[in-house]
Chain A
Amino acid sequence: MSTLLIIKIVIILIIFTITLVIAMYSTYMERKVAAVMQDRIGPDRAGPWGILQPLADGGKMFFKEDFIPKKSEKWLFILGPGIAMFTACMTGAVIPWGGTVTMFGETFSLQIADIDIGILYILAFVSIGVYGIMIGGWASNNKYSLYGAVRASSQMISYELAMGLAILAVVMSTGSLSLKDIVESQSGGHWNVIYQPLAFLLFIVCAFAECNRAPFDLAECETELIGGYHTEYSSMKLGFFLFAEYINMFISAAVISVLFFGGYNFPFMHELGLSSNAITFIGVGVFFAKIIFFIFFFMWVRWTLPRFRYDQLMHLGWKSLIPLAIINLIITGAWLIFKDDPSATWSILKDSF
């Protein structure tokens, strides 16, 4: 028992470190991707190819003046970025980073907690994340910040609905809310993106909105709201908000990979005749490759599309995505019944009319 506990603690520490490092280097990647897409080079001064740039940025954040506006709600002002960071870090707990490993006489899976409502846990924490932004924007006592916060919360609430409905289709076809089960059901190349392309499309659009990223970055709006909810923030409090955003992006990329791209599964994983441990380690590598691709995809979209107008955003969310998600749900349900028993489908149809 104690070995397993130590192993779990080690896994928690490793995942926490990896989350922070990837979020840190996402800022570097963002700047590089932005640069190459605009025919520039990007940061290249700190270390070879600018590798140390995130450290320099972090150091700068720490040494800047930590300013709290006089008319702000002091404790809420401090609480805001704390909640944002906390919820961002918590979501990584249920993501299955790899298969099972047999080591030190124990067999354990590379996952912090395989709770059977994993996907609900993620949705719940993402919802709490809105509070960080809302409280931060409110406590600033600045109309631009409040605008940003109000936009952010209404946007995230609207898109969570469509996101939940899109996930529901996946959950229905898998028959489980556990992320581990969802990944295992996709092994052997049966990736959900093939069976649920519409759900994937809806989910990725909603993920952009949930992460407050372009084309749905209305909460920040550098050009209109001068930073939105974090206008008044400085130093590491601002750093926490920005950092939480990158962690959210990392977790979103991981969730997309888990739900639709088979997580740590890779083609021919059982046909190559490798040992179980080797398959797991290759699987972890494949999973991270998928995650990094999706992080790149997030950035790629950001530097391609302009920002949506607020009414367009709401229009898209309520009038397009939610109906589409419901239609997708109905089709999935019908298909599940038909797949189980084609003859029963006919009798159900007959009864209902």
Chain B
Amino acid sequence: MKPLTNRSKAVSNKKMTFLERIYLPAIIGGMWITFKHIFRKKATVKYPDQERPRSDVYRGKHVLKRDDKGAERCTACGLCAVACPAEAITMVSAERQIGEENLYREEKYAAVYEINMLRCIFCGLCEEACPKEAIFLTPELVISNYERESFIYGKDKLVESMDNRIDVSKRQEPLVISKKFNG
């Protein structure tokens, strides 16, 4: 079998020599190794001050997209909730009233849409399942908190605001978009 590294050594039960038995050379060798590590480059990332770059398609906190006119894309079809392996998504659907056309893109919408961020495993299957390109994962992180209840994100936290739109074009492959919209 090919070894993974060339550092492997065959184990033997030979009797230790005098130098090996008094341990001192091995101890000095070990201390030299730890001493060298003092001058190594540190691996620490000072997280809140300094963030490691995340991929454009990093699977973080979700966003519920609006269309270009500002209407919510979600129609509360429930496919994301069905696809979710962690059962983190719940929703209550409602019918759009006359005069709400600018708020909701289609006749049915999600009156309540909640994702339990403690259950969510950030697999991205909701994003894949969505036929309306409404839900996406973003490179943003779910921030920590003290209360369990505060991890159930409702529409107030999920729906994007029109002033501060979130670009998800990197996640939308042209082939997928054409399939989803043109059958």
Contact = CB atoms under 8 A, between A and B. Distances in A.
A123 interface: no
Give chain A's interface secondary structure class.
Answer: loop
Contacts of A36: 37-38, 42
Interface string A33-52: 00011111100100000000
B44 A304 contact: no
A301 B40 contact: no
A253 to B, nearest CB: 17
Interface stretch (B27-35, B58-66, B100-108, B167-175): B27-35
A41 B44 contact: yes
Nearest to B30: A304
Nearest to B28: A304
Contacts of B31: 300-301, 304
B27 A305 contact: yes
Contacts of A40: 42-44
Contacts of B27: 301, 304-305
B30 A37 contact: no
Nearest to A45: B46
Q: Which of B33, B34, B35, B44 has the most chain A CB within a 10 Å cutoff? A: B34
Contacts of B41: 39
Contacts of B30: 304-305
B36 to A, nearest CB: 9
A303 interface: yes
Nearest to A40: B44
Nearest to B29: A304
A40 B40 CA distance: 9
Contacts of A305: 27, 30
Interface in A38-84: 38-41, 44
Contacts of A301: 27, 31
Contacts of B34: 37, 300, 303-304
A41 B27 CA distance: 25
A41 B41 CA distance: 10
Contacts of A300: 31, 34-35
A189 to B, nearest CB: 25
B35 to A, nearest CB: 7
Contacts of B46: 41, 44
A319 to B, nearest CB: 12
A41 B35 contact: no
A111 B37 CA distance: 39
Contact of A39 (B33, B35, B43): B43
A37 B30 CA distance: 12
Nearest to B35: A300
Contacts of B38: 36-37
A36 B33 CA distance: 12
Contacts of B44: 39-41
B25 to A, nearest CB: 13
B20 to A, nearest CB: 14
Interface string B67-90: 000000000000000000000000
A323 B38 CA distance: 37
Q: Which of A37, A38, A301 has the most chain B CB within a 10 Å cutoff? A: A37
A38 B35 contact: no
A305 B26 CA distance: 10
A40 B46 CA distance: 10
Contacts of B35: 300
Contacts of B33: 304
14 contacts: A37-B34, A37-B37, A39-B44, A40-B42, A40-B43, A40-B44, A41-B42, A41-B44, A44-B46, A301-B31, A304-B30, A304-B33, A305-B27, A305-B30
Interface of B: 27, 30-31, 33-35, 37-38, 40-44, 46
Ranked 7 nearest A-B pairs via Cβ: A41-B44, A304-B34, A37-B34, A304-B30, A36-B38, A39-B43, A304-B31
Given A37-B38, A39-B43, 14 more contacts: A37-B34, A37-B37, A39-B40, A39-B41, A39-B42, A40-B42, A41-B44, A41-B46, A300-B31, A300-B35, A301-B31, A303-B34, A304-B30, A305-B30
